[in-house]
Structure 1
Amino acid sequence: MSEGSMLRWLATNVRTFILAFALALAVWVSAVTAADPDETRAFPNPITIEFVGQDPGLIIKGQVTRQIQLTLRAPSSVWEKLTSEKDAVHTLVDLSGLGAGTYRLDVQVQIGVQPVRIISFSPEQLDLTLEALVTRSLPVQLSLTGTPAIGYQAGDAALDPAEVVISGPESLVNQVANVSLSLDLSGLRQNIETTLVLQALDDKGAPVSGLTLNPDSVQVGLPITQQGGYRDLAVKVVTIGRPANGYRLTNIAPIPPVVTVFSSNFEQVNALPGYVETDPLDLNGASADIETRLNLNLPLGVTLVGEQSVLVQVGISAIQGSLTLTNLPVEINNLSSGLQAHFSPDKVAVLLSGPLPALNTLVPADVHVIIDAKGLTPGTYQLTPTIQLLIEGVTVESILPGTVEVVISKKTTP
């Protein structure tokens, strides 16, 4: 074929070549897309906005959105990289060259994996205020509320550290009137060693937020001492007699367990033993819990501070025991008319447990071994009996044997 003929042939078929190439490309794109289809999704991982270029002498005032919601379109294989690689998606706000003031700034989204198309993200802009970053040193103020227990007094508090540095936006730092903490002394009898969290307050006592306190807590030590003439004594309950037969003493609790006494004679009060006795409590024949008030036996010149008697709670419970009853006859209930039943064995043993007083009064007639024959037709059955007790507080532990053979048959006509 001559050169001219070749050129004419190419000119004639160029459209066919282009069409064939386009079709091949379409088929290839379709195959690739089918194997790795594009997906539009919301990015599942938290995306934190980074502020760059910020003047170290400035600080962002107040609460500013720190995360964005992002929707992307990418092939399935790319999504795997987006969600698995730590820095695949990066967002930032550029503060370079900005001074103090209020601004509306664009949020920039950077994708480190391709191909990816950003469909949408929110917010696209941030409103923020930059203020001068200032610091102040203020003494810590301790506010005490309540009073120690009667006869006790609080000493001088020790704070470590006694001064705190606050930092933040200038307008907020200027609002702070004091840095304080509060400690409740109500009813205290012992020294305090604790750590309390500091709070920055304005001149009206309202908290000022958005600041950094260094440190943010203080170690507080406060001595609590007993005044002269006062002394704490444990309450010792004096008892006489014994609970009823079959019952035992489970608990004796004076309320309060410790009382405060006073005497103008310091030597007398200091010479007392570490306890004070109650009037005798008679337990003779007791078979139930007791709650009563008792006076305390104090020497002349020594008085009880506060309530002049103590509440005493005494626990009395029955001694637990066990009892085995043998040769108890098996009874049957709900047997249909015209039928009769035979048992093997016809007598069983029952093991019971419960309070001794109840067990001591129990007789075989108080225990019934019952077989329920409701709905049973003639035949042979292995049935578990139930126990009916006519006395309260007793528990069935076991039945020996646990099942009974029951043969049900029609009654014979004489």
Structure 2
Amino acid sequence: MKGGFLRWLRESFSSLSLAFFLSVVVWVSAVLSSDPTLTRSLPQPIPLEIEGLNSDLTILDDLPNTVMITLRAPQSVWDRILIQPTLVHAWLDLSNLSEGEHEVEVKVRVGATPYHVVRVVPDQVNLRLEKVETKTVSVTLNVVGEPALGYQKGQLTLSPPQVQVSGAKSLVERVESVQGEMDINGAAESQRRAVKLNAFDENGMLVEGVKLIPDTVSVNQIITLLGGYRNVVVKVVTEGQLEEGYWLTNISVSPPNVVVFSTDPQLVDALPGYVETEAVDLSGLSDDVDLRVSLKLPAGVELAGEESVLVRLNIAALEGSLPITLPIDVIGLSSGLKAQLSPGQVDVLISGPVPVLKTVKASNLRVVVDLSGLMPGEYQLPPLVDLLPDSVKVASILPANISVVIVPVENGASTSTPGPTVSPNPNFILPKTPTPNLLPTATPPP
């Protein structure tokens, strides 16, 4: 029986082999049809990393920051890569490389399998490696500009006075000086700043590609007054009264302090720390104004600089409010209709500058209710104040809404509604701040 099975196996081997091969083909086709292999370029560049660089070496050349990669991989792998691009890494392996020029292959690794790298652009990078060198260089600070009139430069201190210059040997050897610059033009007090440093060669050209440790220096430049000079505050003196209904909101002076000088230092030392201006006359002023004003200086004392200061006066009108009763006018009423208003007049509180409010007359104002497009019916509508001066606002209207009944006009009846009488109230209320604007919003018809 055993011999018969072996004979059958020999006779059927070709058929069995064919069946196995066909089954493998069918399985591979099924896999490929459900997860086809695609060749694509990654939609975004991949950062190029550096690995294995010896700490004693540095790269002289500018290297590409990214590379473009084309892969062949199943759809399932592509799906993962597109969702998580960080699965793809590109790097230059600089392990065991010595000083000199090298051509290094760009390596690629994907954190999902299977895959095949079709193309990398660029696929190789030429670079130069050079020994790292460090040296100590003293800091030179260039102070530009001059202090304010009456002041002088004093001692200059730097911290630290020296810095480390580190980088490629050929670049470090070019560095002859490390410099910073500070502008003290117009300074009237000592200056303490952090100043940025740069490396320069023997020709004064900037040396790039080196690292300064630290790259800033703390600078303290002493600035003092010259003998016979003194810095004093300016005090503004005023006289007179503003126009009625206005008040002074602010007084400013520029400059707020000045430098005075005397050949006798005792005269400036005897000053109380301030000097007064000549009296500024406020009489009749009702708006902001800038004035050039001289200073009152003792005999023998002079102003070091301009002979006057700029005084700015900020003036504003006092705010008040005015209650007034006004009739309501109808606008926009369609022909063939008439309107009945209840009430026929409203109490309006307006606010604004007192001088303007004094000119407001009831006969110059109007309260209206707009009935444009409205059909017969009963409505609750807000009255609106018209013809107000620009600087005057409506603080409140009472009532905020009025009842309006629109009905068709009967034959022979008039469409006009008798108007209410005007009852102005001339009494003023003068709060320090304006009453808030409380304009009502429209109430929709029922």
Counterparts of residues 124-203 of structure 1 (less than 5 Å): 124-203=123-202
The equivalent residue for 1:93 is 93
Structure 1 2/140 Cα, relative in aligned 2: closer, same or farther at 3 Å?
A: closer
1:180 deviates by 0.1
Calculate the TM-score normalised by the size of structure 1: 0.89
Distance in 2, matches of 1:97 and 1:250, equals 76
1:8 deviates by 5.0
Q: Is the 8 A contact 1:366 1:391 kept in 2?
A: no
The equivalent residue for 1:241 is 240
Aligned residue among 342, 346, 350 for 1:348: 346
Distance in 2, matches of 1:276 and 1:124, equals 77
Worse overlay, 285-294 or 354-363: 354-363
Distance in 2, matches of 1:177 and 1:89, equals 41
Q: Is the 8 A contact 1:47 1:69 kept in 2?
A: no
Give the residue type in structure 1 aligned to 2:352.
G
Deviations 1:44-86 (A, max 9, x none): 68544224254x5432114222443334344466568767697
Give the residue type in structure 2 aligned to 1:173.
V
Structure 1 130/97 Cα, relative in aligned 2: closer, same or farther at 3 Å?
A: closer
Structure 1 85/387 Cα, relative in aligned 2: closer, same or farther at 3 Å?
A: closer
Structure 1 22/382 Cα, relative in aligned 2: closer, same or farther at 3 Å?
A: farther
Distance in 2, matches of 1:239 and 1:103, equals 82
Counterparts of residues 230-379 of structure 1 (less than 5 Å): 230-326=229-325, 328-379=326-377
Computed over aligned residues only, the root mean square deviation of the Cα atoms, in angstroms, reads 2.7
Give the residue type in structure 1 aligned to 2:373.
G
Give the residue type in structure 2 aligned to 1:204.
N
The equivalent residue for 1:407 is 405
Query: What is the aligned-residue identity percentage?
Result: 41
Structure 1 170/227 Cα, relative in aligned 2: closer, same or farther at 3 Å?
A: same
Structure 1 283/59 Cα, relative in aligned 2: closer, same or farther at 3 Å?
A: same
The equivalent residue for 1:393 is 391
Gaps of 5+ in 1: none
Give the residue type in structure 1 aligned to 2:115.
V
Give the residue type in structure 1 aligned to 2:24.
L
The equivalent residue for 2:119 is 120
Worse overlay, 29-38 or 297-306: 29-38
Give the residue type in structure 1 aligned to 2:136.
S
Distance in 1, matches of 2:344 and 2:7, equals 120
Distance in 2, matches of 1:2 and 1:61, equals 78
1:322 deviates by 2.4
1:279 deviates by 0.8
Distance in 2, matches of 1:31 and 1:385, equals 80
1:370 deviates by 0.9
Worse overlay, 258-267 or 363-372: 363-372
Deviations 1:165-207 (A, max 9, x none): 2122232223223110000001111212221121001233332
Structure 1 157/76 Cα, relative in aligned 2: closer, same or farther at 3 Å?
A: farther
1:135 deviates by 2.6
Distance in 1, matches of 2:389 and 2:347, equals 18
Distance in 1, matches of 2:233 and 2:20, equals 103
Structure 1 375/144 Cα, relative in aligned 2: closer, same or farther at 3 Å?
A: same
Counterparts of residues 25-64 of structure 1 (less than 5 Å): 25-33=24-32, 38=37, 40=40, 42=42, 46-52=46-52, 54=54, 56-64=55-63
Structure 1 87/372 Cα, relative in aligned 2: closer, same or farther at 3 Å?
A: closer
Give the residue type in structure 2 aligned to 1:337.
S
Q: Is the 8 A contact 2:48 2:64 kept in 1?
A: no
Q: Is the 8 A contact 1:92 1:109 kept in 2?
A: no
Q: 3-state SS of the aligned residue for 1:296?
A: strand
Q: Is the 8 A contact 2:46 2:90 kept in 1?
A: no
Q: 3-state SS of the aligned residue for 1:190?
A: coil
Q: Is the 8 A contact 1:341 1:408 kept in 2?
A: yes
Q: 3-state SS of the aligned residue for 1:107?
A: strand
Distance in 2, matches of 1:262 and 1:108, equals 76
1:404 deviates by 2.1
Calculate the TM-score normalised by the size of structure 2: 0.83
Give the residue type in structure 1 aligned to 2:287.
A
Deviations 1:221-262 (A, max 9, x none): 111111111111111111112222221111111111111111
Q: Is the 8 A contact 1:43 1:72 kept in 2?
A: no
Worse overlay, 387-396 or 373-382: 373-382
Q: Is the 8 A contact 1:152 1:225 kept in 2?
A: yes
Structure 1 257/53 Cα, relative in aligned 2: closer, same or farther at 3 Å?
A: closer
Q: 3-state SS of the aligned residue for 1:286?
A: coil
Structure 1 300/338 Cα, relative in aligned 2: closer, same or farther at 3 Å?
A: same
Give the residue type in structure 2 aligned to 1:325.
I
Structure 1 2/222 Cα, relative in aligned 2: closer, same or farther at 3 Å?
A: closer
Give the residue type in structure 1 aligned to 2:270.
A
The equivalent residue for 2:219 is 220
The equivalent residue for 1:382 is 380
Worse overlay, 161-170 or 19-28: 19-28
Deviations 1:304-351 (A, max 9, x none): 11111111110000122223323x111012333343221111111222
Give the residue type in structure 1 aligned to 2:233.
A
Distance in 2, matches of 1:9 and 1:325, equals 122
Give the residue type in structure 2 aligned to 1:298.
L
Say how many residue pairs are matched. Answer: 410
Give the residue type in structure 1 aligned to 2:201.
D
Structure 1 349/22 Cα, relative in aligned 2: closer, same or farther at 3 Å?
A: farther
